[in-house]
Protein backbone atom coordinates (compact mmCIF):
# COMPACT_ATOMS: atom_id res chain seq x y z
CA UNK A 1 0.00 0.00 0.00
CA UNK A 2 1.22 3.49 -0.83
CA UNK A 3 0.81 6.31 1.70
CA UNK A 4 0.13 9.94 0.95
CA UNK A 5 -0.47 13.20 2.81
CA UNK A 6 -4.11 13.93 3.54
CA UNK A 7 -4.41 17.07 1.43
CA UNK A 8 -2.43 19.91 2.95
CA UNK A 9 -2.39 18.36 6.41
CA UNK A 10 0.38 16.43 8.10
CA UNK A 11 -1.70 13.25 8.37
CA UNK A 12 -0.79 10.28 6.19
CA UNK A 13 -3.29 7.82 4.69
CA UNK A 14 -3.18 4.84 2.37
CA UNK A 15 -3.92 5.42 -1.32
CA UNK A 16 -6.98 3.18 -1.02
CA UNK A 17 -9.62 4.00 1.60
CA UNK A 18 -12.26 1.51 2.70
CA UNK A 19 -15.76 2.87 2.18
CA UNK A 20 -18.39 1.41 4.50
CA UNK A 21 -21.66 2.34 2.80
CA UNK A 22 -22.48 -1.37 2.41
CA UNK A 23 -22.10 -2.04 6.15
CA UNK A 24 -25.41 -2.88 7.77
CA UNK A 25 -27.14 -3.11 4.41
CA UNK A 26 -25.44 -5.26 1.79
CA UNK A 27 -22.91 -6.64 4.30
CA UNK A 28 -23.85 -7.87 7.77
CA UNK A 29 -21.71 -7.10 10.80
CA UNK A 30 -19.60 -10.26 10.67
CA UNK A 31 -18.85 -9.71 6.99
CA UNK A 32 -18.18 -6.01 7.55
CA UNK A 33 -15.66 -6.74 10.31
CA UNK A 34 -13.94 -9.32 8.08
CA UNK A 35 -13.68 -6.73 5.32
CA UNK A 36 -11.99 -4.28 7.69
CA UNK A 37 -9.64 -7.05 8.86
CA UNK A 38 -8.66 -7.86 5.27
CA UNK A 39 -8.20 -4.18 4.42
CA UNK A 40 -5.97 -3.57 7.45
CA UNK A 41 -3.96 -6.72 6.70
CA UNK A 42 -3.24 -5.27 3.24
CA UNK A 43 -1.82 -2.10 4.82
CA UNK A 44 -4.88 0.15 4.65
CA UNK A 45 -5.38 2.75 7.39
CA UNK A 46 -8.28 4.94 6.18
CA UNK A 47 -11.91 4.12 7.05
CA UNK A 48 -14.73 6.19 5.53
CA UNK A 49 -18.31 6.20 6.81
CA UNK A 50 -21.24 8.62 7.24
CA UNK A 51 -24.09 9.08 9.67
CA UNK A 52 -26.69 8.33 6.97
CA UNK A 53 -25.14 5.02 5.90
CA UNK A 54 -27.73 2.44 6.97
CA UNK A 55 -29.23 5.15 9.21
CA UNK A 56 -26.26 5.12 11.59
CA UNK A 57 -25.69 1.37 11.62
CA UNK A 58 -22.52 1.63 9.52
CA UNK A 59 -20.96 3.91 12.14
CA UNK A 60 -21.99 1.52 14.91
CA UNK A 61 -20.42 -1.45 13.09
CA UNK A 62 -17.20 0.48 12.56
CA UNK A 63 -17.28 1.54 16.20
CA UNK A 64 -17.59 -2.02 17.46
CA UNK A 65 -14.64 -3.06 15.25
CA UNK A 66 -12.56 -0.21 16.70
CA UNK A 67 -13.48 -1.31 20.23
CA UNK A 68 -12.55 -4.95 19.55
CA UNK A 69 -9.23 -4.02 17.93
CA UNK A 70 -7.70 -1.25 20.06
CA UNK A 71 -4.15 -1.73 18.79
CA UNK A 72 -5.19 -1.52 15.15
CA UNK A 73 -7.67 1.25 15.92
CA UNK A 74 -4.79 3.46 17.07
CA UNK A 75 -3.32 3.24 13.55
CA UNK A 76 -6.51 4.10 11.72
CA UNK A 77 -7.64 7.42 10.28
CA UNK A 78 -11.43 7.50 10.60
CA UNK A 79 -13.72 9.85 8.73
CA UNK A 80 -17.47 10.35 8.84
CA UNK A 81 -19.92 12.85 7.38
CA UNK A 82 -23.00 14.92 8.18
CA UNK A 83 -25.52 16.96 6.22
CA UNK A 84 -28.45 14.75 5.19
CA UNK A 85 -31.55 14.09 7.37
CA UNK A 86 -31.24 11.86 10.42
CA UNK A 87 -34.77 12.70 11.59
CA UNK A 88 -37.88 14.52 10.41
CA UNK A 89 -37.29 17.77 12.30
CA UNK A 90 -36.45 20.99 10.43
CA UNK A 91 -33.11 21.22 12.27
CA UNK A 92 -32.11 17.58 11.77
CA UNK A 93 -30.39 18.21 8.46
CA UNK A 94 -28.10 20.73 6.82
CA UNK A 95 -24.85 22.41 7.85
CA UNK A 96 -26.19 24.68 10.57
CA UNK A 97 -24.45 24.85 13.94
CA UNK A 98 -27.49 23.32 15.66
CA UNK A 99 -27.60 20.27 13.40
CA UNK A 100 -23.83 19.75 13.21
CA UNK A 101 -23.45 19.92 16.99
CA UNK A 102 -26.00 17.14 17.50
CA UNK A 103 -24.83 15.15 14.47
CA UNK A 104 -21.20 15.21 15.57
CA UNK A 105 -22.03 14.13 19.13
CA UNK A 106 -24.22 11.32 17.77
CA UNK A 107 -21.46 10.11 15.42
CA UNK A 108 -18.91 10.15 18.24
CA UNK A 109 -21.27 8.02 20.33
CA UNK A 110 -21.99 5.52 17.54
CA UNK A 111 -18.28 5.21 16.74
CA UNK A 112 -17.42 4.91 20.44
CA UNK A 113 -14.65 7.51 20.21
CA UNK A 114 -13.91 10.94 21.64
CA UNK A 115 -12.31 12.28 18.47
CA UNK A 116 -12.96 11.92 14.72
CA UNK A 117 -9.90 12.37 12.54
CA UNK A 118 -11.67 13.85 9.49
CA UNK A 119 -15.21 15.27 9.57
CA UNK A 120 -16.73 15.85 6.15
CA UNK A 121 -19.70 17.98 5.13
CA UNK A 122 -21.67 15.61 2.90
CA UNK A 123 -22.99 18.30 0.53
CA UNK A 124 -23.44 22.07 0.19
CA UNK A 125 -26.23 23.70 2.20
CA UNK A 126 -27.65 26.77 0.42
CA UNK A 127 -29.67 27.79 3.49
CA UNK A 128 -26.80 28.03 5.99
CA UNK A 129 -24.12 30.72 5.61
CA UNK A 130 -20.78 29.02 5.00
CA UNK A 131 -19.31 31.21 7.76
CA UNK A 132 -21.56 29.50 10.30
CA UNK A 133 -20.50 26.04 9.17
CA UNK A 134 -16.81 26.88 9.13
CA UNK A 135 -16.93 28.52 12.54
CA UNK A 136 -18.53 25.38 13.98
CA UNK A 137 -15.84 23.18 12.43
CA UNK A 138 -13.07 25.45 13.70
CA UNK A 139 -14.61 25.30 17.18
CA UNK A 140 -14.85 21.50 16.95
CA UNK A 141 -11.14 21.31 16.16
CA UNK A 142 -10.35 23.58 19.12
CA UNK A 143 -12.54 21.39 21.36
CA UNK A 144 -10.64 18.28 20.29
CA UNK A 145 -13.68 16.61 18.78
CA UNK A 146 -12.28 16.51 15.23
CA UNK A 147 -8.80 16.71 13.77
CA UNK A 148 -9.51 18.02 10.28
CA UNK A 149 -12.50 18.73 8.11
CA UNK A 150 -13.40 18.44 4.47
CA UNK A 151 -16.31 18.46 2.05
CA UNK A 152 -18.14 16.10 -0.27
CA UNK A 153 -20.06 16.83 -3.47
CA UNK A 154 -19.15 20.54 -3.49
CA UNK A 155 -18.92 22.42 -6.78
CA UNK A 156 -15.78 24.30 -7.72
CA UNK A 157 -17.07 27.73 -6.69
CA UNK A 158 -18.41 26.33 -3.40
CA UNK A 159 -15.05 24.79 -2.55
CA UNK A 160 -13.18 27.99 -3.44
CA UNK A 161 -15.58 30.16 -1.46
CA UNK A 162 -15.21 27.95 1.61
CA UNK A 163 -11.40 28.04 1.34
CA UNK A 164 -11.28 31.83 1.08
CA UNK A 165 -13.81 32.43 3.85
CA UNK A 166 -11.75 30.17 6.13
CA UNK A 167 -8.61 32.14 5.29
CA UNK A 168 -10.32 35.50 5.77
CA UNK A 169 -11.78 34.53 9.14
CA UNK A 170 -8.65 32.81 10.41
CA UNK A 171 -10.36 29.42 10.66
CA UNK A 172 -8.61 26.09 10.15
CA UNK A 173 -8.51 25.26 6.44
CA UNK A 174 -10.34 22.33 4.83
CA UNK A 175 -8.06 19.50 3.70
CA UNK A 176 -10.20 17.20 1.53
CA UNK A 177 -13.01 16.97 -1.00
CA UNK A 178 -14.90 13.76 -1.73
CA UNK A 179 -16.40 13.89 -5.26
CA UNK A 180 -17.66 11.33 -7.74
CA UNK A 181 -14.76 10.65 -10.10
CA UNK A 182 -13.91 7.76 -12.43
CA UNK A 183 -13.04 7.02 -16.05
CA UNK A 184 -16.70 7.35 -17.02
CA UNK A 185 -17.33 10.54 -15.02
CA UNK A 186 -14.54 13.10 -15.40
CA UNK A 187 -16.42 16.39 -15.51
CA UNK A 188 -14.89 17.50 -12.20
CA UNK A 189 -11.67 18.12 -14.15
CA UNK A 190 -13.10 21.33 -15.63
CA UNK A 191 -13.29 23.30 -12.38
CA UNK A 192 -13.26 21.15 -9.23
CA UNK A 193 -9.84 19.56 -9.75
CA UNK A 194 -8.15 22.91 -10.51
CA UNK A 195 -9.84 24.44 -7.45
CA UNK A 196 -8.59 21.56 -5.30
CA UNK A 197 -5.05 21.83 -6.63
CA UNK A 198 -5.05 25.60 -6.05
CA UNK A 199 -6.11 25.15 -2.41
CA UNK A 200 -3.97 22.06 -1.64
CA UNK A 201 -7.13 20.01 -1.15
CA UNK A 202 -6.82 16.21 -1.39
CA UNK A 203 -9.45 14.41 -3.46
CA UNK A 204 -11.10 11.25 -2.10
CA UNK A 205 -13.03 9.95 -5.13
CA UNK A 206 -16.21 7.93 -4.55
CA UNK A 207 -17.75 5.52 -7.08
CA UNK A 208 -14.32 4.86 -8.64
CA UNK A 209 -15.72 1.93 -10.63
CA UNK A 210 -18.73 3.81 -11.95
CA UNK A 211 -21.26 1.68 -10.11
CA UNK A 212 -19.57 -1.53 -11.24
CA UNK A 213 -19.32 -0.68 -14.92
CA UNK A 214 -15.54 -0.39 -14.88
CA UNK A 215 -15.20 -3.84 -13.32
CA UNK A 216 -16.63 -5.31 -16.52
CA UNK A 217 -19.76 -6.78 -14.96
CA UNK A 218 -22.14 -5.24 -17.52
CA UNK A 219 -22.28 -6.19 -21.20
CA UNK A 220 -23.36 -4.29 -24.30
CA UNK A 221 -27.13 -4.49 -24.93
CA UNK A 222 -27.52 -7.17 -22.26
CA UNK A 223 -30.05 -6.45 -19.52
CA UNK A 224 -28.40 -6.61 -16.06
CA UNK A 225 -29.31 -9.68 -14.03
CA UNK A 226 -27.92 -11.58 -11.05
CA UNK A 227 -25.69 -10.47 -8.20
CA UNK A 228 -25.10 -6.84 -9.07
CA UNK A 229 -26.78 -3.65 -7.91
CA UNK A 230 -28.47 -3.10 -11.25
CA UNK A 231 -29.30 -6.78 -11.67
CA UNK A 232 -30.94 -7.04 -8.27
CA UNK A 233 -33.14 -3.99 -8.87
CA UNK A 234 -34.65 -4.56 -12.34
CA UNK A 235 -36.63 -1.31 -12.66
CA UNK A 236 -33.87 0.94 -11.31
CA UNK A 237 -31.28 -1.20 -13.08
CA UNK A 238 -32.68 -0.66 -16.55
CA UNK A 239 -33.22 3.03 -15.86
CA UNK A 240 -29.52 3.39 -15.02
CA UNK A 241 -28.25 0.88 -17.58
CA UNK A 242 -30.05 2.16 -20.66
CA UNK A 243 -28.53 5.65 -21.05
CA UNK A 244 -24.97 4.52 -20.36
CA UNK A 245 -25.34 1.47 -22.61
CA UNK A 246 -26.49 3.76 -25.44
CA UNK A 247 -23.27 5.79 -25.36
CA UNK A 248 -20.52 4.50 -27.64
CA UNK A 249 -18.05 6.28 -25.36
CA UNK A 250 -18.93 3.83 -22.57
CA UNK A 251 -17.92 0.80 -24.60
CA UNK A 252 -14.79 2.44 -26.01
CA UNK A 253 -13.64 3.11 -22.45
CA UNK A 254 -14.47 -0.41 -21.26
CA UNK A 255 -12.72 -1.99 -24.24
CA UNK A 256 -9.60 0.07 -23.52
CA UNK A 257 -9.67 -0.78 -19.81
CA UNK A 258 -9.84 -4.46 -20.78
CA UNK A 259 -6.88 -4.08 -23.16
CA UNK A 260 -4.76 -2.41 -20.50
CA UNK A 261 -5.81 -5.03 -17.94
CA UNK A 262 -4.77 -7.86 -20.26
CA UNK A 263 -1.41 -6.18 -20.91
CA UNK A 264 -0.74 -5.81 -17.18
CA UNK A 265 -2.10 -9.15 -15.98
CA UNK A 266 -4.65 -7.24 -13.88
CA UNK A 267 -8.41 -7.04 -13.58
CA UNK A 268 -10.43 -4.23 -15.14
CA UNK A 269 -11.30 -2.92 -11.68
CA UNK A 270 -7.63 -2.75 -10.70
CA UNK A 271 -6.77 -0.78 -13.84
CA UNK A 272 -9.62 1.69 -13.29
CA UNK A 273 -8.57 2.23 -9.67
CA UNK A 274 -4.88 2.57 -10.56
CA UNK A 275 -5.66 5.19 -13.21
CA UNK A 276 -7.70 7.19 -10.71
CA UNK A 277 -5.05 6.97 -7.98
CA UNK A 278 -2.53 8.43 -10.45
CA UNK A 279 -4.58 11.57 -11.17
CA UNK A 280 -3.55 15.03 -9.92
CA UNK A 281 -4.85 15.98 -6.44
CA UNK A 282 -6.08 12.46 -5.66
CA UNK A 283 -5.05 11.43 -2.15
CA UNK A 284 -6.99 8.21 -1.60
CA UNK A 285 -9.56 6.29 -3.67
CA UNK A 286 -12.63 4.95 -1.86
CA UNK A 287 -13.19 1.28 -2.49
CA UNK A 288 -16.33 -0.48 -1.30
CA UNK A 289 -17.23 -4.14 -1.21
CA UNK A 290 -20.06 -6.47 -0.30
CA UNK A 291 -17.81 -9.49 0.14
CA UNK A 292 -14.18 -10.54 0.51
CA UNK A 293 -13.80 -11.48 -3.15
CA UNK A 294 -14.69 -7.98 -4.31
CA UNK A 295 -12.42 -6.38 -1.74
CA UNK A 296 -9.50 -8.67 -2.57
CA UNK A 297 -9.69 -7.74 -6.24
CA UNK A 298 -9.87 -4.02 -5.45
CA UNK A 299 -6.92 -4.19 -3.07
CA UNK A 300 -4.84 -5.53 -5.94
CA UNK A 301 -4.80 -1.98 -7.31
CA UNK A 302 -2.84 -0.62 -4.34
CA UNK A 303 0.55 -1.31 -5.87
CA UNK A 304 -0.37 -1.41 -9.57
CA UNK A 305 1.66 1.20 -11.45
CA UNK A 306 0.47 1.77 -15.00
CA UNK A 307 2.95 2.91 -17.63
CA UNK A 308 2.78 6.43 -19.02
CA UNK A 309 1.55 4.91 -22.29
CA UNK A 310 -1.31 3.08 -20.56
CA UNK A 311 -2.28 6.15 -18.53
CA UNK A 312 -2.32 8.32 -21.66
CA UNK A 313 -4.40 5.74 -23.52
CA UNK A 314 -7.02 5.62 -20.77
CA UNK A 315 -7.03 9.39 -20.38
CA UNK A 316 -7.53 9.96 -24.10
CA UNK A 317 -10.37 7.48 -24.61
CA UNK A 318 -12.25 8.73 -21.55
CA UNK A 319 -11.91 12.46 -22.19
CA UNK A 320 -15.10 14.38 -21.29
CA UNK A 321 -17.15 15.14 -24.39
CA UNK A 322 -18.31 18.66 -23.58
CA UNK A 323 -17.34 21.22 -26.16
CA UNK A 324 -19.76 23.98 -25.17
CA UNK A 325 -18.34 27.30 -23.94
CA UNK A 326 -16.65 27.78 -21.52
CA UNK A 327 -15.58 24.13 -21.54
CA UNK A 328 -14.06 21.91 -24.20
CA UNK A 329 -11.48 23.71 -26.36
CA UNK A 330 -11.92 26.97 -24.44
CA UNK A 331 -11.16 25.22 -21.17
CA UNK A 332 -7.99 23.74 -22.69
CA UNK A 333 -6.90 27.20 -23.79
CA UNK A 334 -7.39 28.51 -20.27
CA UNK A 335 -5.34 25.69 -18.76
CA UNK A 336 -2.38 26.28 -21.07
CA UNK A 337 -0.92 29.75 -21.65
CA UNK A 338 -0.80 30.67 -25.30
CA UNK A 339 1.55 33.62 -25.87
CA UNK A 340 0.13 34.17 -29.33
CA UNK A 341 -3.28 34.70 -27.80
CA UNK A 342 -6.68 34.61 -29.47
CA UNK A 343 -10.25 35.66 -28.80
Euclidean distance between the first and final Cα of the chain, in Å? 47
Helices 268-277, 308-317: crossing angle, 10 deg rounding? 100
Query: Is 53 labeled as catalytic in the residue annotation?
Result: yes
Quick one: which of 228, 215, 304, 294 has its CA closest to 257?
215
Residue among 113, 52, 111 at smallest CA distance from 81: 52
63-70: long-range pairs with CB below 8 Å, 24+ = 63/110, 63/111, 63/112, 63/113, 64/29, 64/33, 64/112, 65/32, 65/33, 65/36, 66/111, 66/112, 66/113, 67/112, 68/33, 69/40
Selecting among 3, 39, 53, 149, the annotated active-site residue is 53
Question: Where in the sequence numbering do the catalytic residues fall?
Answer: 53
Amino acid sequence: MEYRKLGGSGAVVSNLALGTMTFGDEADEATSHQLIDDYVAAGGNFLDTANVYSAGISEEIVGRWLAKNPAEAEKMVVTTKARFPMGDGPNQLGLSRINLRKALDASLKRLGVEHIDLYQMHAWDALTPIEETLRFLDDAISAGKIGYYGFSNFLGWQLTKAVHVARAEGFAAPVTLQPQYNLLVRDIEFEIVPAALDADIGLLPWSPLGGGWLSGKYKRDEEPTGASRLGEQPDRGMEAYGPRNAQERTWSILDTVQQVADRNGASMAQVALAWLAAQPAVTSVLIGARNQKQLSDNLGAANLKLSAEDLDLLTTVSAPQHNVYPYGDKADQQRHRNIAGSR
